[in-house]
Amino acid sequence: MITDLRCCARAWERGDESTGSAPAAATHALVELPLPWPSKVESTAVVSALTEALGGDAKVKAVVPDEWRPSPPGQTRVILHRAEDAEFRGYARTSISVPTTELAEGGASLREALAAASPASGVDVLVCTHGSRDRCCGSLGTSLAARLRLGEAATVWRSSHLGGHRFAPTALLLPSGTAWAWLDDELLAAILHRTMEPAALRRHYRGTTAFGHPAVQLLEAEAFAAVGWSWLDGPRTGRVVVELGPGAEWAVEVTGAGGAWEGVVRKVGEVPQPVCGQPDEASVKQDAIYELSDVARRPAPGAAR
């Protein structure tokens, strides 16, 4: 019997699947924006202007400003992660400080500034701490971000909504584009440092954000678990080969370091999306239940059989 009415605890206890829920985007943008944030951060002038300047394929996240590396006075830091090729090799990271007034105004000058952003190495770990959006992210995510000690390996950002608050604490790792669910500090450190095999992390893996379709994310997770961390080190592709049943069944394919993988994903049901503090009967949204079958692997050309 489930007695904890937090949405993330209920989703975990009843065995919900997080894979297939990664927040897909061709571009992820991080913009420093001081708290407090409204429930819908996209309604702020800064996030709205940045979203318009980057176009519809971008997802903009507000992040709490880095107090250890502050931007110059009157400037706002923007970090962009862009998927540049048909074969996904990780997002290309650039960074720029934009005059805050120019950022809020948007328009052509902002687009020009973003186009001039300089390549910048680094790993960004976004932990959702958006309390005005969801209490689980606000409490559990904030606690996780405060405990993390990753040293020089990555910059940890307290982020606005990453989707999937029922999977809190959630995190998005960039430039790898991997999204994760139900984390603690040990799990997140193990993911970043690759000290635990992906197969053991299977239930925590939401998917790669470069692949937009849930069915592709499901098959990609299967390949990642089988191949291991090297799967993330080379180019990857994923696509729906054919829709076998309208909105309910797809033949999919992914390719990567371990070769090519094929499979069939079917929607086999729905489950009420949990809402914090309320029973399932109060849910107004449904989450799809998917089933992956007929998985076959073809080795890469020239690989030993």
pLDDT in tens, 128-170: 999 998 889 999 999 999 998 777 779 999 999 999 889 999 9
Q: Pick the closest to residue 9 from 244, 254, 242, 276 (CA basis).
A: 276
Using the predicted structure, report yes or no on whether residue 103 has a pLDDT greater than 60. yes
> CA 158, 159, 160, 164: dihedral to nearest 10 degrees?
-110
Interatomic CA distance for residues 92 and 102, integer angstroms: 24
Position 186 scores a pLDDT of 94
Evaluate if residue 3 carries a pLDDT over 60: no
Residue 259, pLDDT > 60, answer yes
Query: What number of CA atoms fall less than 13 Å from residue 150's CA on the CB side?
Result: 25
Task: Answer yes or no: is pLDDT of 191 > 50.
Answer: yes
Residue 296 pLDDT class (50, 70, 90 cuts): very high
User: pLDDT tens digits, residue range 8-19?
Assistant: 999 999 899 999
Q: Which helix (H) or strand (E) holds 147?
A: helix 142-147
Is 183 within 8 Å of 144 (Cβ atoms)? Answer: yes
Phi and psi, residue 105, nearest 5°: -75, -30
Which distant-in-sequence residues (6+ apart) come within 8 Å of 148 by Cβ? 125, 127, 156, 185, 188, 189
Are 173 and 125 in contact, with CB atoms under 8 Å apart?
Answer: yes
Q: Residue 137 gets which letter from DSSP?
A: I
The rounded mean pLDDT for the chain is 91
Portion of the chain with pLDDT greater than 90, in percent: 71
Are 217 and 208 in contact by the 8 Å Cβ rule? The answer is yes
Structure tokens at 170: 């959630």
* 284 band by pLDDT with thresholds 50, 70 and 90: confident
Grade residue 67 by pLDDT with cuts at 50, 70 and 90: confident
Structure-model confidence comparison of residues 201 and 276, the more confident one: 201
Confidence of residue 1 (pLDDT cuts 50, 70, 90): very low
- Give 3-state DSSP helix, strand, coil % of the chain, rounded to 5: 30, 30, 40
Q: pLDDT tens across 30-57, in order? A: 999 999 999 999 999 999 999 999 987 8
Distance (Å) of CA 81 to CA 75, 121, 183: 20, 11, 23
Single out the residue of 66, 11, 56 nearest to residue 182, CA to CA: 11
How many CA atoms, within 13 angstroms, populate the side-chain half-sphere of residue 267? 18
Q: How far apart are CA 221 and CA 20, in angstroms?
A: 9
